[in-house]
Amino acid sequence: MQQDAKPATFDCNLGHACQFCPQEDTCALDKPNHNRRLIEARLEAIDQIIIVLANKGGVGKSTVSANLAAGLATRGFRVGMADADIHGPNQSRFFGFAGAHTRTSATGLQTHDFEAKGIAEPLRVGSLAFLLADDTVPIVWRDAYKHDFIHHLIGSFDWGPLDFLVIDMPPGTGNELITLCDMLEGANVSSVLVTTPQAVAQMDSLKAGRFCRERGLPVIGAVENMAGVVCPHCAGEFHVFPEAGLTEALDALDIPRIAQIPLAPELAVGSDKGAPVVTAQPEGLAAKAFGPLVDAVAALGQAEFGGAVARSLEDVFGKNLADDEMTAALDALPEDARAAMAEEIGALLDGEAARVQGATQTRDAP
C-alpha cells in the first residue's frame, strides 16, 4: 500500500473545480464531493442572488445587469457580476475587460475587479470570455458542457463574500436557466425581467415571467428598456417601438414595472467603452432611470445594510483621514501630538461606523 495514500473523503480544498486542475487525471480524491463542496461554500458566502432574464436576445439584459450591479456597488454593497450568457459573454466588455484572461489560483478562478468613482468595494466580474482565446471565438457546445460551465461560473470563480451576485442570463428558458435554478435551490434567489415595449419582445419576456412563477422563483419586477427617446436637440420625447399593452400584460401576471430605461446613445457608448453609465455619468437621465431598479433590489439587502453602510463610512472616513486638508491640519500640530490626534479621530470614526451598524441591526431584528 502506498504510504501517502489519502482517504477518498479528504478534500484538497482548492478553490476551483477538478476540470481546471493539472492533477485531474491522477487525482484519486472524491471529485463529485469536491465540486459539490465548492458550490456550497460559494453560495454560503453570497447573501442575495439576482437573476436577470428576458428569454429574448437584444432587449438589454446585459446592459440592465451591468448597470444594476454597478448601481448596487455605488450604494456600498459588495457585488459580483456573473456572466452566464455562454454564446454572447459581453460583461467582460461592458466593464472594460475585453480580451482579459483569468488565472487559476488556490482560491479559484480570479475575477476581474471593476473600480470606479463612487464604488467602495471593487465589483467582481466573472465570465466565460476570460477563458477564451479572444472575443471572436464562437462557442459550439452541447448541453453537457453548458451544464458544467454554469457550475464552474458559480463554484470555480473566486467571488469572495458578496451582498449581491447579479447573473446575466442568456436568452431562453432552457438548459442554462434550468441548471442554474436547480443548483441554486435553497439559496436567496430573485429575478428581474427585462423587456422592450413592442409585442414581440413582451411575448418572449413574459414567457420568462411564467417560467419564474412555475419554478417558484420570486420576480422583483420588470424593467422596460428602450422606453422612449429624449431628443438631444429639442428635449422632446418620442417612441421608437409601439406601446403594445405592457402594463396590462404585467398586471395579468402580477409583476410590477419597476423601471423604464430610455433608448439613449450614452448607454450603448458606455457598454462599448466598458463604463456603465451609473458610474460614468451618474447625473445623466439614463443613469437616473436605473435608480428605482437599484432601490428595489437594494431593499432585499436590508439585512446586510448595516454592513454596507459601515463599509461606506469606513471608506469615506479612511479617505478623509488621508485627504490633503486633514493631512495639512495634522501636520500643523506639534509632532508629539500628531499621532495621538490621528488615532483619536480614527477611533471616533470607527465608533460612528459601529454605531450605525448596530442601530441598523437593531432595526432589522425580528
Residue with Cβ nearer ligand ADP (60 or 301): 60
Q: Extract the C-alpha cell encoding 9.
A: 473523503
Q: Do 68 and 52 form a contact (C-beta atoms < 8 A)?
A: yes
Answer for which of 180, 267, 313, 353 binds ligand ADP (CB under 6 A) is: 267
Torsion of CA 261, 266, 271, 274, to 10 degrees: -130
Task: Give the residue, chosen from 73, 120, 255, 264, that forms a contact with ligand ADP under the rule CB under 6 A.
Answer: 264
Pairing of strands 257-260, 189-195: unpaired
Sequence-distant (≥ 6) Cβ neighbours of residue 338 within 8 angstroms: 330, 331
Binding-site member from 62, 92, 110, 195 for ligand ADP (CB under 6 A): 62
Distance, in Å, from the CA atom of 10 to the CA atom of 203, rounded to the nearest integer, reads 50
Q: How far is the CB of 196 from ligand ADP (least distance, A)?
A: 8
Binding segment for ligand ADP (CB under 6 A), chosen from 251-259, 265-273, 318-326, 356-364, is 265-273
Taking the complex as a whole, the smallest distance from the CB of residue 63 to ligand ADP amounts, in Å, to: 3
Name the packing angle between helices 305-322 and 324-331 (round to 10°).
50
Which of 84, 261, 275, 297 is in the footprint of ligand ADP by CB under 6 A?
Answer: 261
Q: Does 178 bind ligand ADP (CB under 6 A)?
A: no
Q: 152-172 as b/e, with b when 16 or more CB fall inside 10 Å?
A: bbbbbbbbbebbbbbbbbbbb
By rule CB under 6 A, what string of x and - marks binding of each residue 211-250 to ligand ADP? Answer: --------------xx------------------------
* Least distance (Å) between residue 239 CB and ligand ADP: 13
Taking the least distance from each CB to ligand ADP, the nearer of 160 and 274 is 274
**CB of 57 or CB of 122, closer to ligand ADP:** 57
Which residue number, 246 or 353, has a Cβ lying nearer to ligand ADP?
246
Measure the CA–CA gap between 275 and 266, rounded to whole angstroms: 10
Residue from 20, 57, 98, 321 touching ligand ADP (CB under 6 A): that is 57
357 touches ligand ADP (CB under 6 A):
no
Q: Can you tell me which of 15, 60, 71, 80 binds ligand ADP, judged by CB under 6 A? A: 60
111, 159 in Cβ contact below 8 A?
Answer: yes
Which residues fall within 8 angstroms of residue 304, CB to CB, at 6 or more apart?
Answer: 47, 48, 77, 163
- Beginning with the edge strand found earlier in the chain, give each strand of the sheet holding 162-168 in spatial order: 112-114, 123-127, 79-83, 162-168, 46-53, 189-195, 219-224, 257-260
Binding residue for ligand ADP, selected from 16, 42, 61, 124, defined by CB under 6 A: 61
> Can you give the binding site for ligand ADP, defined by CB under 6 A?
54, 57-63, 90, 225-226, 261, 263-264, 267-268, 271
